[in-house]
């Protein structure tokens, strides 16, 4: 052991110096541990390399690496479990980093993110082993402690096309609660890619169709930007539909005298039934079923703020003022070029995130969150009385009550434990709720304390960065507040001749692109039959590609119904039912076929999107324009 300890201080300082610039807080925590933290022992293995052990809760010594050949065994395990073509490898547990060294060698182009739960374990490793070469690779990142927020900050901006997860088994056994929950959190994050892919596949056409059907209302109604800055430094209560809303919903009558109430559409009817009329209700989901959230209400005193791709029936069901928000979708941006800018709302995947951003852009301060559980509080998803919760209750019977259905649901879904609202325990959440939770935490960090965010939900998950108070405490601290929102009159803007000319040009472009895509599909099929033809086919495909590149303003409209295919090609989803083979192991002809299979899928997607766009143009836009346009558009197509 003396040989191991000699020079330990300089090794420790050198390792700390490598991380200090990028992670000063972590460096400070490790220095606080010192070079001899309790509970860990480093010793030479029989191979001559260092190994490491720790004391468990019962005082028994447990190994973190082999006592015989820690380096060799780590290499063997990594070779069996880590994809060499990975773009990102997420590692749970640092120990003495033999496995991390092996991962950097095996996945030569991958970034490696390491999460370690115990500062003492990391300090012991830094004191015993020179890791400066690992840090010098520029491919290593760290997160320390039990904060999923730190991990997400590391993952932001990194590729998730091909990810490997490696849990150091001995570290996992030392703290199975932490690393087991970590695994679920990581799967939640990574599966967000699959969720986005599924959302695109499901909604891309619906968004486009709704946008085009809403064109008359897009021109008739103003934009959400009319509300921006109109409620500066006054309270706003953002009401979501979480189960904990049942605890304090009656206090919202008093909240109406202390600020404005911005409600999500899911809870709108429940609030009205309790005698609470929101100042604003926000709707973003394009599905027709959401129109029932507004149907039958008398909303003359409530402003509806809705995405421009919302179901047209929902807009028709509202009897009060309507303001539309633009979405980062090509057709919406196209309409704005020829009418007026509507203004947009940031979104984290749920209507509650859009409602929160509206409050911020209105200048509200503080912003008070109510009913924002982001978890399965009381073994429920929503407050009783909401449409979602009614479906749960209607699915129950004498043999399968709601609680049993919910228990089965929690077992089926990949749930995780997160700190609860009171920070005195944990509550069940899942990947969907975690996505929303992380959005709120990131948005609050961006506000940089310029806006006070109060989480008065009184249940569910704790939102880091927000103050946590009961709604009664919050209301007691706020003085009465008079509010007056702007009058939102209809505008009925004309499209004008310039837009009609653009439609004619768009129709002509679609005709050319349809022919070009069909030709590209034929060319790709030739290469798939005979890879040797790739050299002669490629220049012709490049000319076809140039057609789209030369008309970016119209290409982006076509791409609106092409996102599923683009995601499939760019994000590495398999185009067949079989798992894709590792590219490095493919023969030359197989590589060509793999590349042209993706190209063919892309051109087939383009062809389908063009045909869809032509139908939309003829059905939804042409009838809104001057009478003579239909004939001219048909001539342009010919």
pLDDT in tens, 508-544: 888 888 888 899 999 999 999 998 888 898 888 888 8
Which residues, including other chains, have CB under 8 Å from residue 215's CB and lie 6 or more apart? 335, 620, 621, 624
* Contacts for 353-356: CB closer than 8 Å, 24+ residues apart: 353/436, 353/439, 353/440, 353/443, 354/282, 354/284, 354/307, 354/325, 355/238, 355/239, 355/240, 355/262, 355/263, 355/264, 355/280, 355/282, 356/238, 356/440, 356/443
Does pLDDT of 147 surpass 60?
A: no
Give the integer Cα–Cα distance in Å for 215 and 338.
Answer: 12
- Backbone φ and ψ for 411, nearest 5 degrees, come out as -70, -40
pLDDT of residue 557: 66
Q: For residue 514, what are its two tokens? A: 């349809």
pLDDT of residue 335: 74
Among candidates 70, 72, 75, 76, which has minimal Cα distance to 45?
Answer: 70
Q: Reply yes or no: is the peptide bond before residue 366 cis, omega within 30 of 0.
A: yes
pLDDT of residue 287: 87
Q: Are 114 and 140 in contact (CB under 8 A)?
A: yes
Give the residue-averaged pLDDT of 310-337: 84
Does pLDDT of 22 surpass 70?
A: yes
Count the Cβ atoms, other than its own, within 10 Å of residue 417. 17
Q: Where are the beta strands (DSSP E) in 366-496?
A: 367-370, 415-419, 426-430, 453-455, 467-468
Does pLDDT of 479 surpass 70?
A: yes
pLDDT of residue 637: 39
pLDDT of residue 296: 86
pLDDT of residue 628: 38
**Domain positions in the chain:** 2-174, 205-383+419-477, 495-637
Burial of 392 (0-12, 13-18, 19+ CB in 10 A): middle
Q: Where are the beta strands (DSSP E) in 56-162?
A: 61-63, 88-92, 111-116, 140-144
591, HSE (Cβ side, Cα atoms, 13 Å): 7
Does pLDDT of 399 surpass 60?
A: no
Give the integer Cα–Cα distance in Å for 481 and 637.
Answer: 59
pLDDT of residue 406: 58
pLDDT tier, 189 (very low <50, low <70, confident <90, very high otherwise): low
Give the integer Cα–Cα distance in Å for 258 and 68.
Answer: 69
Q: Are 569 and 597 in contact (CB under 8 A)?
A: no
Question: Which range among 166-175, 493-502, 578-587 shows the weakest confidence by mean pLDDT?
Answer: 578-587
Give the residue-averaged pLDDT of 219-230: 90
Give the integer Cα–Cα distance in Å for 158 and 380.
Answer: 34
pLDDT of residue 303: 95
Does pLDDT of 157 surpass 60?
A: no
Question: Which range among 375-389, 459-473, 533-547 shows the weakest confidence by mean pLDDT?
Answer: 375-389
Does pLDDT of 457 surpass 50?
A: yes
- Backbone φ and ψ for 35, nearest 5 degrees, come out as -95, -5
Give the integer Cα–Cα distance in Å for 458 and 461.
Answer: 9
Burial of 301 (0-12, 13-18, 19+ CB in 10 A): exposed
Q: What is the dihedral of CA 436, 440, 443, 444, to 10 degrees?
A: -170
Q: Are 324 and 221 in contact (CB under 8 A)?
A: yes
Which residues, including other chains, have CB under 8 Å from residue 17's CB and lie 6 or more apart? none
Does pLDDT of 161 surpass 80?
A: no
Give the integer Cα–Cα distance in Å for 268 and 561.
Answer: 32
Q: For residue 56, what are its two tokens? A: 């468990």
Does pLDDT of 120 surpass 60?
A: yes
Any idea what DSSP says for residue 529? H
Give the integer Cα–Cα distance in Å for 86 and 591.
Answer: 18
This prediction has a pTM of 0.67
Indicate the SS3 state at residue 548: helix
**Percent of the chain having pLDDT more than 70?**
76
Question: Which range among 223-227, 433-437, 457-461 shows the weakest confidence by mean pLDDT?
Answer: 433-437
Give the residue-averaged pLDDT of 84-89: 86
Give the residue-averaged pLDDT of 442-450: 91
Element spanning 341, H or E: none
pLDDT of residue 219: 78
Give the integer Cα–Cα distance in Å for 168 and 173.
Answer: 9
**Average pLDDT over the chain, rounded to an integer:** 80
Write out 50-85 in H/E/C secondary structure.
EEEEEECCCCCEEECCCCCCHHHHHHHHHHHHCCCC
Write out 388-421 in H/E/C secondary structure.
HHHHHHHCCCCCCCHHHHHHHHHHHCCEEEEEEC
């Amino acid at each position: 052991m003396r040989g191991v300890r000699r020079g330990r201080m300089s090794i420790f300082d050198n390792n700390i110096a490598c991380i200090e610039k990028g992670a000063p807080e972590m460096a400070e925590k490790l220095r606080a541990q010192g070079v001899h933290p309790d509970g860990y022992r480093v010793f030479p293995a029989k191979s001559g390399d260092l190994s490491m052990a720790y004391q468990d809760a019962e005082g028994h010594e447990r190994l973190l690496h082999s006592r015989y050949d820690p380096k060799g065994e780590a290499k063997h395990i990594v070779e069996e479990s880590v994809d060499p073509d990975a773009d990102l490898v997420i590692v749970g547990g640092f120990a003495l980093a033999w496995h991390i060294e092996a991962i950097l060698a095996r996945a030569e182009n991958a970034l490696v993110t390491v999460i370690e739960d115990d500062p003492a374990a990391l300090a012991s490793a830094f004191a015993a082993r020179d890791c400066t070469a690992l840090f010098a690779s520029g491919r290593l990142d760290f997160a320390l402690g039990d904060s999923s927020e730190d991990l997400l900050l590391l993952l932001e901006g990194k590729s998730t096309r091909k990810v490997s997860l490696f849990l150091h088994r001995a570290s996992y056994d030392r703290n199975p609660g932490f690393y087991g929950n970590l695994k679920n959190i990581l799967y939640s994050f990574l599966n967000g890619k699959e969720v986005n892919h599924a959302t695109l596949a499901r909604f891309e056409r619906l968004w486009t169709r709704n946008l085009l059907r809403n064109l008359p209302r897009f021109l008739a109604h103003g934009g959400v930007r009319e509300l921006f800055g109109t409620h500066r430094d006054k309270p706003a209560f953002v009401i979501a539909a979480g189960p904990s809303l049942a605890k304090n919903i009656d206090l919202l009558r008093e909240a109406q005298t202390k600020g404005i109430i911005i409600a999500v559409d899911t809870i709108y009817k429940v609030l009205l039934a309790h005698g609470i009329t929101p100042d604003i209700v926000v709707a973003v989901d394009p599905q027709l079923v959401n129109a029932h959230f507004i149907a039958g209400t008398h909303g003359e005193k409530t402003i509806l703020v809705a995405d421009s791709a919302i179901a047209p029936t929902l807009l028709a069901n509202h009897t009060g003022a309507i303001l539309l928000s633009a979405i980062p979708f090509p057709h919406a941006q196209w309409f704005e070029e020829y009418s007026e800018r509507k203004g947009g709302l940031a979104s984290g995947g749920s209507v509650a995130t859009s409602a929160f951003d509206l409050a911020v852009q209105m200048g509200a301060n503080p912003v008070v969150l109510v009913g924002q559980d982001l978890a399965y509080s009381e073994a429920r998803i929503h407050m009783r009385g909401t449409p979602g919760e009614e479906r749960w209750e209607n699915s129950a019977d004498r043999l399968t009550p709601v609680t049993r259905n919910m228990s089965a649901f929690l077992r089926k879904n990949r749930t995780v434990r997160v700190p609860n609202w009171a920070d005195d325990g944990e509550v069940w959440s899942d990947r969907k709720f975690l996505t929303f939770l992380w959005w709120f935490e990131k948005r609050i960090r961006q506000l940089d304390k310029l806006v006070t965010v109060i989480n008065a939900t009184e249940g569910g998950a704790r939102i880091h960065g927000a103050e946590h108070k009961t709604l009664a405490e919050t209301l007691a601290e706020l003085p009465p507040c008079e509010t007056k929102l702007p009058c939102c009159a209809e505008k009925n803007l004309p499209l004008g001749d310039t837009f009609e000319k653009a439609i004619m040009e768009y129709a002509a472009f679609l005709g050319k692109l349809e022919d070009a895509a069909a030709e590209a599909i034929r060319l790709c099929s030739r290469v798939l039959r005979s890879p040797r033809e790739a050299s002669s086919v490629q220049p012709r495909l490049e000319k076809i590609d140039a057609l789209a590149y030369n008309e970016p303003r119209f290409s982006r409209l076509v791409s609106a119904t092409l996102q599923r295919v683009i995601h499939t090609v760019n994000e590495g989803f398999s185009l067949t039912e079989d798992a894709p083979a590792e590219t490095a192991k493919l023969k030359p002809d197989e590589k060509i076929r793999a590349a042209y299979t993706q190209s063919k899928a892309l051109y087939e997607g383009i062809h389908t999107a063009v045909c869809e766009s032509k139908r939309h143009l003829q059905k939804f836009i042409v009838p809104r324009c001057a009478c003579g346009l239909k004939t001219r558009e048909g001539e342009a197509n010919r």
